[in-house]
Amino acid sequence: MGDDHTLETLIESLQGLLDGYRTYGSGTRRYKCNPPLDFDHVAYGRQHGVRIEWLDSLVVKTGPDVPNDETYSLEGKVVTIRVNPTSLSQMITGARAQVDKSKRYGHGSSATGGLWFSPDWLGVE
């Protein structure tokens, strides 16, 4: 539900996290998930027979000892993914592909940490 400018800001932040890892050996970024003001997810969910819950934050932590296949954790409404530099690089590459409309992932394409890309730019679910 975001625009390309927002996604580019996220990419820059993730690249900063990767650069920080190279300098300090670890790092953390927290992203607040703000629901769009013009989208009633409760009504949309009822219309389509599903329940949608908007999560509070996405936390990305990087460190050298995280395995490539580490999956996300969900505590309350906070999603945390732990990544090593390789999987963080893959996440950045996937996000960059979302900006390049000719390379966008289709719905359900695998992303880092056991998450999946959805068709509306990053919209990881």
Give the pLDDT confidence score for residue 61 in this predicted structure. Answer: 95
Q: Encoding tokens for residue 10?
A: 């996220």
Specify which residues 57 forms β-bridges with.
32, 78
Write down the mean pLDDT value for the chain. 81
pLDDT(89) > 50:
yes
The predicted model gives 97-110 an average pLDDT of 64
pLDDT tens, position by position, 7-39:
788 889 999 999 999 999 999 999 888 777 788
Helix or strand run (H / E) with residue 47? helix 41-48
Per domain, the residue ranges of the chain are 4-117
Maximal CA-CA distance, the chain: 49
Q: How sure is the predictor about 112, in pLDDT bands with cuts at 50, 70 and 90?
A: confident
Give the pTM. Answer: 0.77
What gap in Å lies between CA 83 and CA 81, rounded to an integer? 6
